[in-house]
């Protein structure tokens, strides 16, 4: 058993049966079976690090929370589809199922809860494995994402809490289009996003000339990588993101750590190992203590190979709980 070193950090991770409700029908890649081995390994990590890794329960958002980012029409549409329990929430990637609305409330509510836990100093850092649903737009679902927990939390941070600047870092294989376009013209949201080139992968966006618009120009850094890119390219790109973030003074770091960039993912073609996630989590962890009092919240995102989900997210949890 590892003992806690004096400078280890407290990481709270939310998991419970509610986490498994956000699961599309069997055969869909975003099915709760993808997290089975991660959850077992997480239990083991919590036993090994009883003083630094704490498990807590998912929390449901309110409708009012959703409206911080999403439109009323869209929220009503999801409720209705949730009652009917069939059809699609978008053009065909994101199916409705009975209770999809209630299940989605936990993806958002847990990210908001995590942000509060950090701000109230009840934990140093927080990880919501069922969050990071970065493709959802204000007025529609997309790419397996119903509500955009990251965008709701960012909206709360800048519009309700009054933070002047926050950072959003996204290493999922797919471009975080819902967050990017949600804040493309907002200079308060600094974005660094590494992903497989949109010419080869959904959602087909995130090119290097997309740097923000109007007065937000220069506040976003998109780094598309060729299919087949591995740890070496990732690490070089991540170092650029780290330097980029240091030009600003974010008060909070949101970290979407999708695991679908690892070699062997069934829907993306990058070739990272979990070293990519360990590197990113470790660097962002250090950076958070340097620039924003350690305020960093991780969100799971994609990842459709269970072994990869386990290794990538355990690497994140490990690096966020040790210094």
Instruction: List interacting residues with Zn ion (CB under 5 A).
Output: 9, 124, 172-174, 258, 260, 294, 302
Task: For residue 212, give both structure tokens.
Answer: 């923000």
Shortest approach of Zn ion to residue 80 CB, angstroms?
27
Give the whole-angstrom CA distance, residue 307 versus residue 33.
11
Shortest approach of Zn ion to residue 231 CB, angstroms?
18
Contacts of 318 (CB under 8 A, 6+ apart): 45, 278, 281
Contacts of 80 (CB under 8 A, 6+ apart): none
CA gyration radius, the chain: 18
Contacts of 51 (CB under 8 A, 6+ apart): 4, 8, 10
Q: How far is CA 319 from CA 2, 174, 245, 275, 312, in A?
A: 14, 23, 19, 11, 11
Shortest approach of Zn ion to residue 31 CB, angstroms?
15
Shortest approach of Zn ion to residue 108 CB, angstroms?
18
Q: Which is nearer to Zn ion, 49 or 174 (CB)?
A: 174
Q: Which is nearer to Zn ion, 77 or 202 (CB)?
A: 202
Give the whole-angstrom CA distance, residue 307 versus residue 126.
22
Residues 290 and 307 sit within 8 Å (Cβ to Cβ): no
Q: Which is nearer to Zn ion, 65 or 170 (CB)?
A: 170
Q: Which is nearer to Zn ion, 58 or 302 (CB)?
A: 302
Q: Which is nearer to Zn ion, 173 or 284 (CB)?
A: 173
Q: Which is nearer to Zn ion, 186 or 196 (CB)?
A: 196
Give the burial string for 224-248 (b: 16+ CB within 10 Å, else e).
bbeeebbbebbeebbeebbebbeeb
Count of other CB atoms within 10 angstroms of residue 305: 20
Shortest approach of Zn ion to residue 56 CB, angstroms?
17
Q: By beta-carbon distance, which residue lies closest to Zn ion?
A: 302
Q: How far is CA 237 from CA 1, 115, 222, 299, in A?
A: 35, 27, 10, 20
Q: Which is nearer to Zn ion, 212 or 300 (CB)?
A: 300
């Amino acid at each position: 058993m590892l003992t806690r070193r004096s400078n280890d950090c407290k990481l709270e991770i939310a998991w419970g049966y509610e986490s498994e409700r956000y699961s599309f029908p069997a055969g869909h890649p975003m099915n709760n079976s993808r997290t089975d081995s991660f959850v077992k390994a997480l239990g083991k990590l919590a036993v090994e690090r009883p003083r630094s890794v704490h498990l807590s329960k998912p929390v449901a958002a309110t409708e009012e929370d959703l409206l911080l980012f999403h439109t009323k029409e869209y929220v009503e549409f999801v409720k209705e589809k949730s009652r009917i329990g069939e059809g699609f929430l978008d053009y065909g990637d994101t199916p409705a199922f009975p209770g999809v609305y209630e299940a989605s409330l936990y993806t958002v509510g847990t990210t908001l809860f995590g942000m509060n836990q950090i701000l109230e100093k009840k934990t140093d850092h927080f990880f919501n494995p069922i969050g990071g649903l970065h493709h959802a737009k204000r007025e529609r679902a997309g790419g397996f994402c119903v509500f955009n927990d990251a965008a709701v939390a960012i909206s709360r941070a800048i519009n309700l809490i009054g933070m002047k600047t926050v950072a959003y870092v996204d290493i999922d294989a797919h471009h975080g289009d819902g967050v990017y376009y949600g804040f493309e013209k907002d200079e308060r949201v600094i974005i660094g996003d590494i992903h497989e080139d949109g010419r080869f992968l959904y959602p087909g966006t995130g090119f290097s000339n997309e740097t923000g618009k109007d007065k937000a120009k220069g506040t976003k850094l998109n780094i598309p990588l060729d299919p087949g890119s591995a740890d070496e390219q990732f690490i070089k790109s991540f170092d650029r993101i780290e330097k980029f973030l240091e030009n600003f003074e974010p008060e909070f770091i949101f970290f979407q750590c999708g695991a679908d960039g690892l070699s062997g993912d069934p829907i993306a073609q990058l070739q990272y190992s979990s070293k990519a996630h360990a590197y990113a989590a470790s660097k962002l962890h250090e950076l958070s203590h340097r620039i924003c009092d350690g305020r960093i919240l991780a969100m799971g995102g994609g990842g459709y190979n269970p072994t990869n989900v386990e290794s990538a997210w355990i690497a994140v949890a490990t690096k966020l709980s040790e210094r």
